Amino acid sequence: MNQRYQINKTANGWEFANEAVLEDFVWDNLEKMLGWKPLKRQHHVNGNYSDILAIVNKDQLVIIELKNSEDRYVIQQLTRYYDALLKQKPYHDKVNYKLPIRLVVISPNFHADNWVDCKYHRLDFNLFEFSILWESQPRFKIQQLKTNNKCAPKLP
């Protein structure tokens, strides 16, 4: 397996070696998995770094936060990125800020507090759960939890 996508066996299955490896994988496969065009990695905004910015439907911005493990505060984190990006409006030549910004979390699981936060939040969050399956070779499975859309590309 390509060292860039190092995965480790755990008691519960397989996981990426760290969040940077997950980010490399999602960045390299974003268009194939979800049809979104990668725009920028680790965009610095107000002292924070958005993992991935992408474009969907030619000019709609997608902010993607990646987690390699459960994080009960990821909704608040993504909300801060949203606020800062709306004020900054980077990449205005590629992004139509009149369109709603899509807020996406990709994580292997979600804390119960994430669901409560989404339930009462005014912004719309798209939560994607991923897993790594090992058959004859590793496969990355991603599922949008609101619509149950599934995609299982092979790991390069």
The CA–CA distances, whole Å, from 46 to 84, 122, 143 equal 7, 22, 31
Is 91 inside a domain boundary?
yes
Angle, CA 60 vertex, CA 57 and CA 61 arms, to 5°: 130
Length of the chain (residues) = 156
Is 85 inside a domain boundary?
yes
- For residue 142, give its domain range: 3-151
Reading the block at residue 3, the tokens are: 């060292």
- Residue 37: how many CB atoms within 10 A of its CB? 14
Is 57 inside a domain boundary?
yes
CATH number at residue 30: 3.40.1350.10
- Please give the pLDDT value at position 53: 98
Reading the block at residue 86, the tokens are: 């709306």
Is 96 inside a domain boundary?
yes
Is 156 inside a domain boundary?
no
pTM for the structure as a whole: 0.90
Percentage helix, strand, coil for the chain under 3-state DSSP, each rounded to 5: 30, 40, 35
- Please give the pLDDT value at position 106: 97
Total structural domains within the chain: 1
- Please give the pLDDT value at position 35: 94
pLDDT tens-digit profile, the chain (156 residues): 355 788 888 888 889 999 999 999 999 999 999 999 999 999 998 888 999 999 999 899 999 999 999 999 999 999 999 999 999 999 999 999 999 999 999 999 999 999 989 888 899 999 999 999 887 788 889 988 875 555 655 555
Is 34 inside a domain boundary?
yes
Is 25 inside a domain boundary?
yes
Is 32 inside a domain boundary?
yes
- Please give the pLDDT value at position 149: 58
